[in-house]
Chain A
């Protein structure tokens, strides 16, 4: 049966780690402040399509929902998910290497995280806390991040060319096209 964490060449990764008591607020402030301090750290991992950090304080218990028992999380939990290209192992290697400064601020605030919060120890920790998908859907799982970005650029280029090329004669059209897009022939 197909691996539920795979769609095309894209993969789903998720880790859910308990936040140390007292660290909930500093962790939230750190994550929420990332935007104002520059590009997302996830931009350092060029195989990441989309990713998120979510602190879940508790499950929602609604007294009118006929749930026999309430259920609560024992601690706040940090969810990290990523939709990524290629295999998870090498992705986590890259993460533990390039995100070392941030990892200390993020998983360093979680229960059981190794003190260094980097390298192989962090990878082992993240894999230990991995939650496997039941279903993973991607709309264009065959395309890598690089391919997506390139195609988006090319679409803009084709549109601009198509507008410019209206009314060109055959020779001018061909020359302009080759100049714009090159020719591998």
Chain B
């Protein structure tokens, strides 16, 4: 690979184009061109991952992704001329993620922690440099990324972690709300203390 003096400069503080942002939410949109063996391998990988969700468990634990998807595209639906009909020469993989945190941070976590998963998902892509070291991997992603023209989040102020903690908190609060006025003040105080102690890592 040719080595240039400077990598593509990060455009915003978080390292991505402002159009990829809505508040805390950041969009990443990546197409990869897949080598022919990937046409067989990726559908199998997708099926296995859906059935044994080890990768998605790590994604959930890393907790900075709201939604992500991978699609394998061999041909596009035909809509009449001037669109050309037919299959692509190579399959193409579409990847999108809705995440929070800096772009750099996100790629670091992908490279260092999801090393094997990345190799599995992108190993059959042309130009994929291995997840580590991080710099060529970042360059690969940047080369294949397309900026969003419009991006929307229904709750731009929130991060994925915040939402997951808020949902947990809400579930813990429900029984206390239900029983609050039935308890004696002393009973309520100890129930409240138990709630706040239990919920402290969501606060």
Contacts and interface: CB of A to CB of B under 8 A. Distances in A.
Interface of A: 1-2, 4, 7, 10, 12, 14, 16-18, 20-21, 27-28, 31-32, 34-35, 40, 42-43, 46, 48-57, 59-62, 64-67, 69, 71, 74-75, 77, 79, 81, 83, 110-113, 128-140, 143, 145, 147-152, 154-155, 158-159, 162, 165, 169-171, 173-174, 177-178, 181-185
A2 B127 CA distance: 32
A74 B160 CA distance: 37
A49 B146 contact: no
13 contacts: A21-B82, A49-B154, A49-B155, A74-B83, A74-B84, A79-B29, A112-B83, A134-B42, A135-B70, A139-B65, A170-B185, A173-B189, A173-B192
Given A154-B170, A174-B189, A183-B177, A65 B127 contact: yes
B163 to A, nearest CB: 5
B31 A17 contact: no
Interface string B146-165: 11111111110110101111
Interface string B20-34: 001001010101010
B109 interface: no
Nearest to A163: B203
Contacts of A113: 79
B59 A32 contact: no
A45 to B, nearest CB: 9
Q: How large is the interface on B (under 10, 10 to 19, 20 to 34, 35 or more residues)?
A: 35 or more
A39 to B, nearest CB: 9
Nearest to B185: A170
Contacts of B89: 69, 71
Given A129-B77, A152-B157, A181-B177, 19 more contacts: A4-B50, A7-B67, A49-B153, A50-B152, A51-B151, A53-B151, A55-B146, A62-B143, A81-B69, A83-B98, A129-B76, A131-B71, A136-B69, A139-B65, A170-B188, A174-B180, A174-B181, A174-B183, A174-B192
